[in-house]
Amino acid sequence: MDFPLFQAGKLVLLCPRSSYGKHMTLEDALKLISATAERMNRLYKETVFDEFAIVVFRQNKAKLLKYIGPRKDDFQKNFLSDVQEIKLDLIANKHNIGDFEFSQTGVGTKVEAFLVLSDGIFLLCNHTSRSMSDIARNSMWLSAQVPFVEMSDRFRSDPLVHPL
């Protein structure tokens, strides 16, 4: 499903094209994301993120490639408001493949983290009932970040490729 990302203006190129020569498939990426989420949850001793979306941002539009979580229809309907907290960062900063950021202001269904999977392709992560600040208060958060960083390194060396 395509939906407008911004009401006006142009979408800037968010990251340079990969020069690694390796390319991960969507199926491989989903397996990696799932395994990483399981490791994070095990280390954290509860669910860190209960919602993941792989989204392509191109030509001032966003296309949802895959959604995993409890609210697929609501995610699509509320996409613009849910990414509001990180949208400015996505536009303002040039991110390389494998880069990620966590938003301390995301609450509820507001997206709390993103990871650059490839040129214009992002993984959005969220916990639909907790904020990133709540998640980070748990002392287990530090160890739960390790698998996330390892996943970012995998995408940095083997970016996702999807026929657009």
- Mean pLDDT across 129-156: 93
Q: Is residue 117 part of a domain?
A: yes
Render pLDDT for 83-124 as a digit per residue (tens, 0 to 9). Answer: 766 665 665 567 889 999 887 665 556 677 889 999 888 999
**In this structure, what DSSP letter does residue 97 have?**
T
61 versus 97: the higher-pLDDT residue is 97
Can you state the angle between helices 141-157 and 26-44, rounded to 10 degrees?
160
pLDDT tier, 72 (very low <50, low <70, confident <90, very high otherwise): confident
Per-residue pLDDT at 146 exceeds 90? yes
pLDDT of residue 106: 55
CATH number where 58 lies? 3.30.450
Q: Is residue 31 part of a domain?
A: yes
pLDDT of residue 4: 39
Domain assignment of residue 107, given as a range: 21-154
99 versus 4: the higher-pLDDT residue is 99
Q: Is residue 3 part of a domain?
A: no
Q: Is residue 139 part of a domain?
A: yes
Q: Which helix (H) or strand (E) holds 74?
A: helix 72-77
Q: Is residue 87 part of a domain?
A: yes
Give the residue from 154, 131, 112, 145 showing the smallest Cα distance to 37. Answer: 145
Q: Which of 38-47, 51-60, 83-92 has the highest mean pLDDT?
A: 38-47
- Identify whether the C-beta of residue 65 lies closer than 8 Å to the C-beta of residue 120: no
> How far is it, in rounded angstroms, from Cα 131 to Cα 107?
4
Q: Is residue 15 part of a domain?
A: no
- Identify whether the C-beta of residue 109 lies closer than 8 Å to the C-beta of residue 78: yes
The whole-model pTM stands at: 0.80
- Count of structural domains, the chain: 1
Per-residue pLDDT at 66 exceeds 70? yes
Q: Is residue 35 part of a domain?
A: yes
28 versus 119: the higher-pLDDT residue is 28
Q: Is residue 8 part of a domain?
A: no
For the beta sheet containing 100-102, the strands, ordered from the edge strand earlier in sequence to the opposite edge, are 2-4, 61-68, 51-58, 121-126, 113-118, 100-102
